[in-house]
Structure 1
Amino acid sequence: MTIEYQEDDATKVVEFHITGHISHADYAPLVDRLQDFIDRNGTVRMIEVVEHFPTFDPSILIPGLKFDIRNIRYITHVAVVSDMGWISPVVKAAGALISTKIRTFGMAELEAARDWVRSADPEGGAAG
C-alpha cells in the first residue's frame, strides 16, 4: 500500500492519499503522525484521497475506533475524494452520526475539495 501524507501547521490541514490494501504496519505510523498533528494544532481539517482501497487488515478496526473516539471532536471538516462508488454512502452514513462536517468529492473535484477544506473555519464553523 502507498500512503502519501502532507500536513500544514499554518492552515491546520492534513492531506493523505491512500492506494491499495491497508495493513497494520501502514496504519500505525499514519495514525501516530495524525495524532501528533492534532496535538500540535488543536482543531484540524482533513482531505482524504482514496484512489484504490480494496481491503484492510481487520486488526486496525479497534485502534481506529479508539482514535476516532478520542479525536473526532478535534477534526472539524473532512473532504473525502474518491471515485469508488461505495465510499460516498459510507461517508454520508458516518457523517450523520458525528458533528464533523464531511463532504464527498469525485477525483476530478480534488481542487474543489481542497478549496472547501481550506476555506472552512478552523474552529468548526460552516464553509460553503
Structure 2
Amino acid sequence: MIDIDLSQPAVAVLKPEGALSAADFDALRAAIDGHINRTDIVPNLVIDASHLPHWDSLAALEKHLKFVRDHHRVVKKVAIVGDSPILSVVPALVDHFVGAKVRRFPTDKMAKAKEWANAVDDDPGRFDVIDGLPRDVVALKAVGIITAQDYRDTLVPLVEAKLKEHDKLKFLIVLGEEYATYAADAAWDDTRFGIAHWGDFSRIALVTDIGWMTSATKLFAPLMGAEVAVFPVAELEEAKSWIRR
C-alpha cells in the first residue's frame, strides 16, 4: 500500500509499505492528478522510505514506471527519507534520468525534507566558520543541505589558505540539529578532499548525534592518518578543548 498525505498543497508525502500492486499506483496517480486538477499545483514529493517496499508483480513495476514517466517533468523536487545504505546512491542515479531535483534525508530529518520540498528554491546549505580557535584549526558547522559548491566555496579555500601558514592542521566539524544532509555531489567531493589532504591533518574531531556517522567514523578512524575523536553535540566545548591540544 501507499499512504498518501496531501494536507500541504505543495507537498505530497508518500509512505509505501510492503508489496506494492498495480492498484496502488493507480490510486497514487488518481490522488496526485486529482490534487493538481483541484489546486492547479503540482506537488513536490517526499517519500518515506523507512521501510523499503517491493513490487508484487511486473504489472506493478510497469505502473510505477509509467507514473514516473508521466510526472517526472512536472514534479520539481523529490525528497527520499530513510537510513538504508541503498538509498545513498539513489539521488546520484535518479538525477541523470528525471527532471526533478532529488535529495536524500536521514529518517530523523523528515521535517527538514518537508521544509526543503515546500521551499521555492533548492535551498542548499552552507558551512559556517566557528571562531575562537587557534589559527591551525579548521572549524566548521554544517547547516542545511551540504553540496559540492560548499566544498569549493568554503572548505577547500579555507584549508588551502591555512596550509600556507602551517604544515599540519586540525579539523573540527559539527553536524548538529541545523544540518540536514549531504548531496550526492558533496559526498563525492568529500572523498576527493579526504584523499587530497590525507596527510595534512593531525587531529580530526566530529561533533554529531547521528548514530551511523558516529559508528562509521569510529570504525574507520584507525585507517586515517590523523588522531580522530567523536563527540555528541552536547559536548561541543569538550571537542574544542580536545582540538586545541
TM superposition score category, shorter chain reference: 0.7 to 0.9
1:12 counterpart (130, 136, 146): 136
Given that residues 174 and 206 in structure 2 are in contact (C-alpha distance below 8 angstroms), is that contact kept between their aligned partners in structure 1? yes
1:38-53 matches, cutoff 5 A: 38-52=163-177, 53=179
Given that residues 76 and 100 in structure 1 are in contact (C-alpha distance below 8 angstroms), is that contact kept between their aligned partners in structure 2? yes
Query: Aligned equivalents of 1:94 and 1:56: distance in 2?
Result: 19
1:113 aligns with 2:228: no
Query: Aligned equivalents of 2:218 and 2:231: distance in 1?
Result: 12
Residues 40 and 7 (structure 1), Cα distance of their counterparts in 2 relative to 1, 3 Å cut: farther
Match of 1:32 in 2: 157
Query: Aligned equivalents of 2:200 and 2:234: distance in 1?
Result: 28
SS at match of 1:99: coil
Runs of 5+ unmatched residues, structure 2: 1-124
Given that residues 134 and 244 in structure 2 are in contact (C-alpha distance below 8 angstroms), is that contact kept between their aligned partners in structure 1? no
Aligned-residue CA RMSD (Å): 2.1
Deviation per CA, 1:57-96, whole angstroms, max 9, x where unpaired? 2223443323212212110101111112222112112212
Match of 2:147 in 1: 23
Percent identical across equivalent pairs?
A: 22
Runs of 4+ in 1 over 3 A off after TM superposition: 6-11
* Greater RCO (CA < 8 Å, at least 6 residues apart): 1
1:80-91 matches, cutoff 5 A: 80-91=206-217
Which one has a bigger Cα radius of gyration?
A: 2
Runs of 5+ unmatched residues, structure 1: 120-128
SS at match of 2:180: coil
Q: TM-score, normalised by structure 2?
A: 0.44
* Cα distance, 1:15 vs structure 2: 0.8
Residues 61 and 83 (structure 1), Cα distance of their counterparts in 2 relative to 1, 3 Å cut: closer
Given that residues 9 and 41 in structure 1 are in contact (C-alpha distance below 8 angstroms), is that contact kept between their aligned partners in structure 2? no
Given that residues 8 and 14 in structure 1 are in contact (C-alpha distance below 8 angstroms), is that contact kept between their aligned partners in structure 2? no
Query: Aligned equivalents of 2:218 and 2:236: distance in 1?
Result: 18
Q: TM-score, normalised by structure 1?
A: 0.79
Give the AA of the match of 1:63: D
SS at match of 1:49: strand
SS at match of 2:224: coil
- Tell me which moved more, 73-82 or 87-96: 87-96
* Cα distance, 1:6 vs structure 2: 3.9
Aligned residues: 119
Query: Aligned equivalents of 2:133 and 2:165: distance in 1?
Result: 8
1:94-109 matches, cutoff 5 A: 94-109=220-235
Match of 1:123 in 2: none
Given that residues 144 and 181 in structure 2 are in contact (C-alpha distance below 8 angstroms), is that contact kept between their aligned partners in structure 1? yes
